[in-house]
Structure 1
Amino acid sequence: MRADDVMTTEVYCVGPETSVKEVATLLLRRHVRGLPVVNADGTLAGMVTEADLLAIGCAPDPRRHARRDLIVAGMAADHVDASGRSEDRRIVAEIMSTPVVTARADADLADLARIMLSRHLTRLPILDDHNRLVGLVSRRDLVRLLARTDADIADDVRQVLVDWCAEVPPAISVVDGEVTLAGPAAALPDLLLALIRAIPGVIAVHVPAQPR
């Protein structure tokens, strides 16, 4: 399957000039851990996440460090520039993560899963050919595929066999996402077995040993 088969297309976004306070409120209200940041033309500018907010939202508490005056003073100085003005960041453009790992709408879901795992990402923005945001694929979207019913998986397996198998197809059964092929026609070509394994929700494909 492709990214555009499962991606969420109604994605709530914020602009680079959105206030940090507003973003924090939106994350809590919508029960999400991050939001895409898009420019006025729809192109992706970055991502703002809970981690970005934590980096600016946890200033040292002087009460906790009351006996460490020098350390507290040094930490406080780090938050003030030469003009004496506070360096607290106030808009998304100053705290968002960029550049962002993205994918195209026709990307293979297996590739997206590998990217998320290797980069420790919980979501991937999906862009069109003009680098405009068109959707978002999350880990939950991919996990949802594993929850497909055995009946739906069996229907997809039968369709693959009809489309690709010129001979009489083998008998199939699906239990907990594991596909078992049986009968004289179960010895399928590797390409056909790979197509069955690629069906969303398939955990494994079993082909009983054929008698000699």
Structure 2
Amino acid sequence: MTVASVMTRCVVTVEPQMPVRELVVAMAESGLSALPVVDGRGMPLGVVSEADLVLGRARWLPAHGRTAAEVIGASVRAVHVEEPVSFVARVLAGTGMRRLFVTDWDGRLVGVVSRQDLRRSCR
């Protein structure tokens, strides 16, 4: 069984020039705590998480005039679409990560695989 058979294909993404205010709205509307930032070709550039938007003790980063590119906090941790599900399970378990992004042969973002996706595949 490969990642392609269990991944979520509809990934909410943001572009580097998206204003932070819109990024926060996208997070709230999607119910996601982290969104990948992709370029115009669908190539992942990084990830913006809620943690990237908070300064110190629950003080939100001033959003005025800032873009997603300015607040990217982490590089994209990705696996190839044809990786075995067992490999992804080991990576998620070993690192404590919640999700891995999925790329195709050209490096374009094509999905995301989460712990929840793996649990569903076991049913």
Could you say which TM-score interval applies, normalised by the shorter chain? 0.7 to 0.9
What TM-score do the two structures reach when normalised by structure 1?
0.52
Sequence identity (%):
33
Residue 119 of structure 2 corresponds to residue 118 of structure 1 = no
Asked whether the equivalents of residues 45 and 98 of structure 1 are also in contact (C-alpha less than 8 Å), the reply is no
Alignment match, 1:53: 53
5+ residue gaps in structure 2?
none
Question: In 1, Cα distance between the equivalents of 2:71 and 2:65?
Answer: 7
Q: Deviations over 1:121-152 (max 9, x none)?
A: 11111011111111111111011123x1xxxx
Match of 1:134 among 104, 110, 113: 110
The structure with more strand, counted as a fraction of residues: 2
Which one of the candidate residues 57, 67, 72 is aligned to 1:96?
Answer: 72
CA distance in 1, matches of 2:117, 2:65: 33
Q: Which amino acid aligns with 2:31?
A: H
Q: Distance in 2 between matches of 1:5 and 1:36?
A: 21
Partner of 1:15: 15
Give the 3-state SS of the residue equivalent to 1:7 in structure 2. coil
How many residue pairs match? The answer is 122
- 2:54 and 2:99 mapped to 1: Cα distance? 19
CA distance in 2 between counterparts of 1:93 and 1:135 reads 21
Distance 2:66 2:102 in 1: 27
Letter in 1 for 2:17: E
Q: Which runs of 5+ in 1 are unaligned?
A: 60-85, 149-212
Q: Kindly name which structure, 1 or 2, has the bigger radius of gyration based on alpha carbons.
A: 1
Amino acid at match of 2:52: D
> Which residue pairs with 2:33 in the alignment?
33
Higher helix proportion: 1
Residues 142-157 of structure 1 aligned to structure 2 (within 5 Å): 142-146=118-122, 148=123
Cα pair 2:36 2:76 within 8 Å, conserved? no
Equivalent positions of 1:161-200 (< 5 A) are none
